[in-house]
């Protein structure tokens, strides 16, 4: 399946007021697409639209909470009214909560699931209902947390596991009915976005992301690649892919990394902002965060996997790396065996 060039597409992006969503909206507009930006922060979206139009692009802002199906339907209706429909729908909207599962309030758990999971479900179902008629692409942004668990981000990992299950099922059903709709799950590793600063936080300091950290533009590029050249799954960040493969080879060894993962999330000494943007929009408008460690310039692994001829070679190299990684991490490994 192959879709229209980006310059001929209308692309809907949820969670477009910050981070990966904002990076994707700007990149899509730069490449000639008409973009529909959706998020809760209407004032921020209006500013971004003015910025895009000042550079010669075409954009539309729709204030919406993706956790409400009627508001997601309003996004699709607005795209239809302004541009006659859309060719690609990208579900990016998502938030997280940092803290031990036993300490987190039920209301915070429920809000996270409403946004991360139900927002993706509503967006996908509304989008596919339109795309069945004209063909196109659905791109859901999961995470390496779709395949891994992370202590102190338990419900985030839960939501991303569920997003993967839903996305895989929807793809199979569309294949069974012969619909010309591609479904891609993008799974970023740690990405330099304001996600930690906008999180609901039960820890005693501002959280940070475990290394390696990649730029949000790498995710945006993968999303827009899938809008034209569909792929089933795209990992963004070779480091994240290594951890997923290592966990599959030695899940017990990965579990033993829990103390190290918790410590990595507490590497900053900055005072925490406990509320975050979970229940109400705040601190939107920025693509990048402010991690205390180095951010990679690019992901050679991801760039290679976007070109099928390179994928086999990359996979063989990763398999060798995982074998070495597992051999070093497995606490039950003994000499001479």
Q: Which of 264, 240, 249 is nearest to 148 (CA)?
A: 240
CB 305 within 8 A of CB 235: yes
Give helix 119-134 / helix 69-83 axis angle, nearest 10°. Answer: 30
Output the CA angle 28-31-33, nearest 5 degrees. 60
Q: State the virtual CA torsion across 264, 269, 275, 279 in degrees, nearest 10.
A: -40
Distance CA 65, CA 76 (A): 13
Q: Quick one: 190 exposed, middle or buried, by C-beta within 10 A (0-12, 13-18, 19+)?
A: buried
- Point out the catalytic residue in the list 156, 214, 254, 301: 156
From the CA atom positions of the chain, what is the Rg in Å? 20
Active site residue 156: yes
Distance CA 151, CA 259 (A): 9
Q: So which residues are the catalytic ones? A: 156
């Amino acid at each position: 399946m192959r879709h229209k060039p980006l310059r001929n597409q209308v692309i809907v992006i949820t969670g477009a007021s910050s981070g990966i969503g904002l990076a994707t909206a700007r990149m899509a507009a730069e490449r000639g697409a008409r973009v529909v930006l959706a998020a809760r922060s209407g004032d921020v979206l209006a500013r971004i639209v003015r910025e895009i139009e000042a550079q010669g692009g075409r954009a539309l802002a729709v204030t919406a909470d993706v956790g409400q199906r009627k508001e997601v339907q309003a996004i699709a209706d607005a795209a239809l009214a302004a541009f006659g429909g859309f060719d690609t729908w990208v579900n990016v909207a998502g938030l997280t909560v940092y803290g031990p599962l036993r300490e987190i309030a039920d209301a915070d758990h429920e809000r996270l699931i409403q946004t991360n999971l139900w927002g993706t479900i509503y967006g996908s179902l509304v989008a596919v209902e339109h795309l069945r008629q004209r063909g196109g692409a659905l791109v859901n942004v999961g995470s390496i947390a779709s395949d891994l668990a992370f202590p102190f981000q338990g419900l985030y990992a839960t939501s991303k596991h569920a997003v993967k299950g839903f996305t895989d099922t929807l793809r199979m059903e569309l294949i069974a009915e012969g619909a010309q709709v591609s479904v891609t799950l993008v799974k970023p590793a740690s990405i330099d976005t304001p996600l930690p600063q906008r999180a609901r936080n039960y820890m005693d300091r501002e959280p940070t992301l475990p290394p390696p950290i990649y730029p949000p533009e790498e995710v945006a590029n993968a999303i827009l690649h899938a809008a034209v050249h569909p792929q089933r799954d795209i990992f963004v960040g070779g480091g994240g892919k290594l951890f997923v493969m290592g966990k599959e080879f030695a899940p017990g060894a990965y579990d033993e990394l829990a103390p190290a993962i918790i410590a990595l999330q507490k590497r900053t000494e900055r005072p925490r902002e406990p509320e975050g943007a979970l229940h109400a929009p705040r601190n939107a408008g920025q693509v990048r965060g402010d991690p205390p460690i180095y951010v990679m310039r690019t992901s050679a692994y991801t760039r290679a996997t976007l070109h099928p001829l390179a994928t086999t070679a990359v996979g063989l190299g990763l398999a060798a790396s995982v074998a070495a990684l597992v051999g070093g991490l497995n606490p039950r490994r003994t000499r001479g065996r």
